[in-house]
Structure 1
Amino acid sequence: MTEIRHIVFDIGRVLIHYDPNIPFSRLIPDAEERKWFFDNVCTHDWNIEQDRGRTWQEAEALLIAEHPDHAENIRNFRRYWHDMVPHAYDDSVAIMVGLIESGHDVTMLTNFATDTLAEARKRFDFLERPRGVTISGEVGMIKPDRGIYDHHVAAFGLEPSATLFIDDSPRNVDGAKAAGWQAVLFTDAKTLQADLQRLGIKS
């Protein structure tokens, strides 16, 4: 395998925690009702389009037209987004910062709406440490689409075969591999550290 010269981190559920249930367990206390809401109203497929660049105003209007009785909680999804990201994963952040400080080329590639990532970067200053970030909401593509990996390579001058991608989604890891990258699935910091050691990367 090609020696790794570039390391690319995902953000959500790799560096910072994300869980919509945190505010909605308060807003919709009944677990079955809350599950129905996420399965039928503010779904993953609806939310991912904001990661692709759709505005929250457009997204909310679309759902409120379909589910007018749930208008308040549809708006609450963005309104209480900050509660969905309560903390960083300090052990993962320590690995990333260690890699940067030991001279490794580190960037980030994330499925994120532009406004919520801007908010996250104000709250979590370590997100400013890498050389840069590709934000799906800015480029209009989402992982695991091949185009976003190729865009990141071009934007940051990476060699795909010498690039390691770290993501918590098997589909996104497979997408990176299909684009010619090396990639590992993130489950926890201890496993990531072992993966890096196995690949000969020292932080």
Structure 2
Amino acid sequence: MTNINTIIFDLGGVLIDWNPEYVFLDAFQGDRQKMQWFFDTICTPDWNENQDAGYPLAQATQDLVEKFPEHEHYIRLFYGNWETMLGGAIEDTVTILDTLIKSKKYKVVALTNWSHETFPIAQKHFEFLSWFDGIVVSGEEKTRKPFKEIYDITLNRFNITPEKSVFIDDNLRNIEAATALGINSIHFKNSKALIEELKTYKIYV
């Protein structure tokens, strides 16, 4: 196997616990069925991902308010209370990140689908975001995973050889896109499994 010299981390779901339920379960008074209907119908994952690709949060909110005026209160909560959706660091994975960086054997970068408007909030919360050799934020690039363009941006910006890199992401769709470009990839499930999968690339933490 080719010697790995670069490790690319996703952030949300791998190193950072982000979940809109932290806002909306309370907003809907514990009614998961109503909350899920709201996520499936109004503030959908596709809608949120559009902001990850650079669409302005205020405009995205207004678009939905005009379409669903009867749900204005809940729509405005999504970005109005966005900071509450940050549940904290996924500490076991942060420990892995720390070990990899301290080993000084690898270039360690991040590739994240994240609004450029909310990413500075995360940077204030999580000191480990300053550890990376670089971070590609989808909202700043006006594109997002799983589109080829953002992987190309990452590879070119940090002079990464796909075959000598490993990409870690909790979204299988993003993993499949990276694999198609020749990037070694690990579908993140939990930190313990990640340690075992890294071993297959002769990466020990």
TM-score normalised to the size of structure 2? Answer: 0.96
C-alpha separation between the residues in 2 aligned to 1:32 and 1:13?
23
CA offsets per residue over residues 72-107 of structure 1, 9 Å max, x none?
Answer: 111100111111111111110000111001012100
8 Å CA contact 2:51–2:139 kept in 1: the answer is yes
> How many corresponding residue pairs?
203
- Say what the alpha-carbon RMSD is for the aligned residues: 0.9
Residue 48 of structure 1 corresponds to which residue in structure 2? Answer: 49
8 Å CA contact 2:11–2:111 kept in 1: the answer is yes
- Of residues 119, 123, 126 in structure 2, which corresponds to 1:124? 126
Report 1:178-193 matches (<5 A).
178-193=180-195
One-letter code aligned to 1:102 = S
Structure 2 residue runs of 5 or longer lacking an equivalent are: none
Report 1:110-149 matches (<5 A).
110-149=112-151
8 Å CA contact 2:195–2:204 kept in 1: the answer is no
Residue 57 of structure 1 corresponds to which residue in structure 2? Answer: 58
Residue 95 of structure 2 corresponds to which residue in structure 1? Answer: 94
Q: Secondary structure at the match of 2:154?
A: helix
Shift of 1:142: 0.9
One-letter code aligned to 1:101 = K
C-alpha separation between the residues in 2 aligned to 1:173 and 1:38?
24
C-alpha separation between the residues in 2 aligned to 1:3 and 1:180?
14
Shift of 1:202: 2.6
| 1:105 and 2:128 are equivalent in the alignment | no
TM-score normalised to the size of structure 1? Answer: 0.97
Q: Secondary structure at the match of 2:17?
A: coil
Percent identity of equivalent pairs = 37
One-letter code aligned to 2:79 = R
